[in-house]
Amino acid sequence: MDRVLITGGAGFIGSHLADELLAAGYAVRALDVLVDQVHDGGKPAYLSADVELIPGDVRGGEVVRGALEGVDAVVHLAARVGVGQSMYAQAEYAGANTLGTTVLLDALAESPVRKLVVASSMSVYGEGAYQPVPAVERTREQLERREWEPRGAGGEELTPVPTPETKQPALSSVYALTKFDQERLCLLFGSAYGVPAVALRLFNVYGPRQALSNPYTGVLAIFASRLLNDNAPVVYEDGAQTRDFVHVSDVARAFRLALEQEGADGRVVNVGGGRATSVLEIGHTLSGLLGREIDPELPGTFRAGDIRHCIADVTLARELLGFEAQVALEDGLAELADWLQTQPATDRFDRAAAELAERGLTG
């Protein structure tokens, strides 16, 4: 029986991946620092008792080397997550994400494994793909004029299209930069040391176990924490920006397929649903499902580091891994709403928004 180490294995995606792997007959070990912003003080109740949990920071060489003992494969999920927070906590994000990855890879050089899979992010693309020409990244001056839609270099009006892995990265936040560091470091290591390595660029992952009290996590969790406290979700820009939402159970399956198959070795692969949904639509839908008829708030402000549209081209995932998302957004949101009704949620959005505003990162 293969033993898989999941760094960040007590988190939202990591715990679902652990369940997926346990059900498939793997032994699972998790290394997780259990950061307070996510876990609020300890081991989460949802983590399977069959997971061997090692509390520890991926930046600690000794604990990482211990976690790798007897391991056959590694899924590297450990990372600080949040575009907005990354813009003023640069050292923490670079330390946890970039430095942490190098510590892991140094240890792997001494403890070879048969496979390494790393979680990257759609954030590395910056703006997604557009027609008829590529988009120019939006400037602060453009955003201050409330001109939300990107334009081409010649001022062309653009239509968003699915974003393929071949699109040139455009790293518009510290978080995006560190996620690109993680994927490139792992693929470089794999090539140099002969370890099959895969980087999965995850789009907007949602589902049960999201950290509802983390004001820098995914938009669905942030909206949920607002609604569960009878507060209106705050939508930046005009709400027409679109995202690609993919259920966490589909993401867990994609990681398992990447561990088991060779088709994507040495490659980056998008993992998304392939469907565009506006942020405003998500706010209205979640409000209705939770029985809170609270309209989203549209103050007309923006946040530094955000992008307008990015939807996954999922062709490679289908061709290389045989992966397609199976959970329809409507079904996944209904399931999420049922879970949310059983959860306490501390709404820390206002404090997080104030932190961003104090640093001039919103406008």
Catalytic residues: 175
DSSP string, 21-90: HHHTT-EEEEEE---HHHHSSS--TTS-TTSEEEE--TT-HHHHHHHTTT-SEEEE------HHHHTT-H
CA distance 268 to 316: 9
Dist. CA 311–CA 355, nearest whole Å: 29
Task: For residue 28, give both structure tokens.
Answer: 């699972």
Amino acid at 107: A
CA atoms of 48 and 67, how far apart (whole Å):
18
Task: List CB contacts of 101: < 8 A, sequence separation 6 or more.
Answer: 58, 76, 118, 181, 182, 185, 186
Residue 266 and residue 188: Cα distance in Å, rounded? Answer: 9
Q: Residues 263, 320: contact at Cβ < 8 Å?
A: yes
CB 52 within 8 Å of CB 21: no
Q: Which two tokens stand for residue 142?
A: 């453009």
Residue 256: which of 210, 317, 302, 195 has the closest Cα? 317
Q: What is 147-189 written as a DSSP string? A: --S---TT----EEEPBPTTSPP---SHHHHHHHHHHHHHHHH
Tokens of 238: 């005009």
Assess contact for 33 and 57: CB atoms under 8 A.
yes
**CB distance 201 to 139 below 8 Å:** no
CA–CA dist 119, 99 (Å, integer): 15
Greatest alpha-carbon pair distance for the chain in Å reads: 58
Tokens of 335: 């399931």
